Amino acid sequence: MELPIPYGHQYISDDDIQAVVSTLKSDYLTCGPAIPEFEKVFAEYVNAKYAVAVCNATAALHIAAMALGVKPGDNVICTPLTFASSANCIRFCGGNVKFVDIDPETYLLDINKLKETLAAAPKGTYKGMVLVDFAGYPHNMEEYRKVADEYGMWILEDACHAPGAWFTDSTGEKVYCGSGKYSDITVFSFHPVKHITTGEGGMACTQNKELYDKMALYRTHGITRDISKLQRQDGLWYYEMQELGYNYRITDMQAALGTSQMKRARKNVEIRRELVKKYNDAFKDIPGIKTPYEASNVYHAYHLYIIQVEDRLGLYNFLRENQIFAQVLYYPLNLMPYYKNLGNKEGDLPVVEEYYKHCLALPMFPTLTKEQQNLVIEKILKFLSR
Ligand SMILES: *Cc1c(COP(=O)(O)O)cnc(C)c1O
């Protein structure tokens, strides 16, 4: 059996390698045809109308926040249970981040606390919200949309954990994370630890043509060559920089890797869900361990399988001694020194703090073998029965 066992690992097939090699031998290493192709297959996968591929999800969040019009002084709501970029993208644009506590079952931003926060401030105080489909759990975005509409807010969905996840809305429709039925923009990451990898990479999806055009412009310096958009006519060499953008492009090698990975994406979520079933069954009647919640109208993508245990440090160390590298995700973002310096403090958000004390992400990736998973389960049961 292969040891140590990490909490997540990429899955690269021979076909994936071949796709990258072919691209290296082609005429384009960047700005070539592999990029729109990847955007197309990814958009189909998440049921999006438009997709913009970029160099990582942090860049995707940044151009999303720019396209949504975040300006210095704008107030935006964000979950504290996430990777730093979900909130940082608001700071990049000079906005203020207001953290709202999580729900203790789903670990998503608590919709009741959201409503309380909005009701307690004058209308118009908050311009939008960043919602994170934490661990792969899709929000019931229909409910959040109702709240957002009531207050005239936009929704930026960080679905870095959730490609392939969906929930059923009140019309009975399967709503994929990324479809944009209820969110304005949805962002994904292709970092090696995520479901689909391009080494580094990200995608921003939307149904809104205007937001799409803006993001495509910000991805590449704010420069356009589209004749219909140019302010003057000149030779075919002529382009215009119309806004201040960045170089957030992805390469053709990365895009080709992504397209190749997409062929196994749906299947890999199924494999993850099989692993979940096995973990859940093993821990079902064991006191002292809480397994993840999943509502009946939800298809959770399980980027992470997170348990809650009383003695988290003890279990973490015990697993490590046995070459099992479980992981703790995340330390509350509002308590990171940077955000503390902006006025956040311990005790502000008790639910996420309690979550953090007990959470542990167990190994969860499609190539985790039966023997490896058995070992993880055996060691956890052994620790809990001491
Ligand atoms: C990984 C991740 C990001 C950042 O993704 P990068 O591609 O590394 O920039 C942002 N948000 C969440 C929730 C993530 O898990």
The angle, 0 to 180 degrees and rounded to 10, between the axes of the packed helices 57-67 and 209-219 is 130
Taking the centre of ligand 1 as the mean of its atom positions, its distance from the CA of residue 378, in whole angstroms, is 31
Q: Could you tell which of 63, 97, 160 is best to mutate to test the pocket of ligand 1, judged by most ligand atoms within 8 Å of the CB?
A: 160
Q: What is the pLDDT of residue 386?
A: 87
Q: Could you tell which of 191, 193, 250 is best to mutate to test the pocket of ligand 1, judged by most ligand atoms within 8 Å of the CB?
A: 191
Share of the chain above pLDDT 90, in %: 99
Q: What CATH architecture does domain 14-262 belong to?
A: 3-Layer(aba) Sandwich (3.40)
Q: Low-confidence residues of the chain, pLDDT below 70? A: none
For residues 327 and 35, what is the distance between their CA atoms, to the nearest angstrom? Answer: 33
Taking the centre of ligand 1 as the mean of its atom positions, its distance from the CA of residue 58, in whole angstroms, is 6
Q: What is the pLDDT of residue 253?
A: 98
Q: For domain 265-384, give the fold.
A: Aspartate Aminotransferase, domain 1 (3.90.1150)
Q: Could you tell which of 7, 81, 86 is best to mutate to test the pocket of ligand 1, judged by most ligand atoms within 8 Å of the CB?
A: 86
Alpha-carbon distances of 213 from 50, 79, 218, 220, rounded to whole Å: 9, 28, 9, 11
Q: What is the pLDDT of residue 168?
A: 98
**Ligand 1 and 333: CB distance under 6 A:** no
Q: What is the pLDDT of residue 297?
A: 97
Q: Could you tell which of 61, 78, 85, 195 is best to mutate to test the pocket of ligand 1, judged by most ligand atoms within 8 Å of the CB?
A: 85
DSSP state of 5: B
pLDDT in tens, 179-200: 999 999 999 999 999 999 999 9
Q: How many residues does the chain have?
A: 386
Q: What is the pLDDT of residue 80?
A: 98
Q: What is the pLDDT of residue 223?
A: 97
**Ligand 1 and 85: CB distance under 6 A:** yes
**Ligand 1 and 344: CB distance under 6 A:** no
Q: What is the pLDDT of residue 385?
A: 94
Alpha-carbon distances of 6 from 9, 192, 318, rounded to whole Å: 7, 12, 14
* Ordered alpha helix ranges (H), 198-246: 209-219
Taking the centre of ligand 1 as the mean of its atom positions, its distance from the CA of residue 257, in whole angstroms, is 18
The closest-lying atom of ligand 1 relative to the alpha carbon of residue 200 is: 7
Handedness of CA 254, 256, 257, 262 (dihedral sign): positive
Handedness of CA 24, 27, 32, 36 (dihedral sign): negative
**Ligand 1 and 184: CB distance under 6 A:** no
Domain ranges of the chain: 14-262, 265-384
Taking the centre of ligand 1 as the mean of its atom positions, its distance from the CA of residue 192, in whole angstroms, is 11
Taking the centre of ligand 1 as the mean of its atom positions, its distance from the CA of residue 201, in whole angstroms, is 10
Taking the centre of ligand 1 as the mean of its atom positions, its distance from the CA of residue 18, in whole angstroms, is 27
The closest-lying atom of ligand 1 relative to the alpha carbon of residue 60 is: 9
DSSP string, 338-368: HHHTTT--TTSSHHHHHHHHHEEEEP--TT-
CB atoms within 10 A of CB 386: 7
